[in-house]
Structure 1
């Protein structure tokens, strides 16, 4: 159970003030009201609010526990689904908007997750899913290496050739422009791509 930060603040209040807090659910959050009745009980006060708020608090704890258990069960299902993907192979799932959710197993516990959307997705970052235990994993954004190799390094190499034959100005910044652009583009898109990809990743696997 988490520490109730209101208890120390309310210790100096009178019984009447504590009862006012306990009875005002529209003004005070449940933690504050629960702290008030804990202090009242400690003082031997038998306010009628005590049992009511104790039950309300107990119901909240049970709901939080239920959500936590459901979250763990959902993660177990997702991990089980991921482990059915052979290493170095992809699982492609069509989305309702016409795009595709692509999950590639990189190694035993690491997966690359991305949304395939023709050219735009080729310049977007990916999400890495790393399995920690049988009931937990972490998700974090990462550069889409294939995009950097093809458009970044490939484009830089092309600019270097064009520069060497005099078609482009022999300028280092200009030659490196493709790889700089691709990396910056992925960095800028990271926050948006992360939340969208994670949303579809969790919801699509839960439905399978």
Structure 2
């Protein structure tokens, strides 16, 4: 456990004040209550409060250990699931809300994760999952390259051709507007899409 920042702050308190702090879980955080009993023990103070807080401390340590172990097991489960997808393979799973979770294996360690719902998903960014070890991976947002190529660069080239034949105005900003729009749209959507996609990605694989 890291150094308790309350030890120095509570050192000047009387035994009665420290016992009050230790017993008052509604007003004081656990670290303050634990610091109080550590000081009392140091002073040779005997109280049932000390025993109770020490038991609470042990329970908290066990819970934290259990959570860490469960988190590692969950990550292993997700990684094992991902490794079963062939390279360049594309796995689609129906979610409870009717949308589709799509996982595409880009390489041995990298996967593209996205949610297909409607036209918005075509314009939205994706999540890249990179396997680091057998029990750990990294998730980060990335541009959806396919939509940039089709709707960004593709339409920009179309606008360029139309401007050359005089159908639309020969204006640089107008010609580049499709590319600017799609990139800007993906950047704006990134925070929202990231948390939504990661939530469904983790929960769906855990339940599968």
Instruction: Give the aligned partner of residue 83 of structure 1.
Output: 83
Structure 1 residue ranges without an equivalent (≥5): none
3-state SS in 1 of match to 2:114: strand
1:63 partnered with 2:63 = yes
User: In 1, distance between residues paired with 2:166 and 2:11?
Assistant: 81
Instruction: Give the aligned partner of residue 54 of structure 1.
Output: 54
Instruction: Give the aligned partner of residue 5 of structure 2.
Output: 5
Instruction: Give the aligned partner of residue 104 of structure 2.
Output: 104
User: In 1, distance between residues paired with 2:127 and 2:3?
Assistant: 35
3-state SS in 1 of match to 2:115: strand
User: In 1, distance between residues paired with 2:170 and 2:78?
Assistant: 51
Instruction: Give the aligned partner of residue 159 of structure 2.
Output: 159
1:179 partnered with 2:176 = no
Q: Provide TM-score, normalisation by structure 2.
A: 0.98
3-state SS in 2 of match to 1:128: strand
Instruction: Give the aligned partner of residue 37 of structure 1.
Output: 37
Per the TM alignment, residue 14 of structure 1 is displaced from its structure 2 partner at its CA by 1.7
User: In 1, distance between residues paired with 2:132 and 2:162?
Assistant: 47
3-state SS in 2 of match to 1:153: helix
Per-residue CA deviations over 1:74-131 (Å, capped at 9, x if unaligned) read: 0000000000000111111011222100000111111000001232111000000011
Instruction: Give the aligned partner of residue 150 of structure 1.
Output: 150
User: In 2, distance between residues paired with 1:176 and 1:43?
Assistant: 74
Per the TM alignment, residue 201 of structure 1 is displaced from its structure 2 partner at its CA by 0.2
Indicate the RMSD between aligned Cα atoms, in angstroms.
0.9
Per the TM alignment, residue 47 of structure 1 is displaced from its structure 2 partner at its CA by 2.2
Aligned residues: 208
Q: Provide TM-score, normalisation by structure 1.
A: 0.98
User: In 1, distance between residues paired with 2:92 and 2:56?
Assistant: 45
Per the TM alignment, residue 2 of structure 1 is displaced from its structure 2 partner at its CA by 2.3
Q: Which runs of 4+ in 1 moved over 2 A?
A: none
Per-residue CA deviations over 1:144-174 (Å, capped at 9, x if unaligned) read: 0001000000010011011111111111111
Instruction: Give the aligned partner of residue 93 of structure 1.
Output: 93
Per-residue CA deviations over 1:14-58 (Å, capped at 9, x if unaligned) read: 212111101111111111100100011011111221000000111
User: What are the residue-to-residue correspondences of 1:182-193 with 2, within 5 Å?
Assistant: 182-193=182-193
Instruction: Give the aligned partner of residue 139 of structure 1.
Output: 139
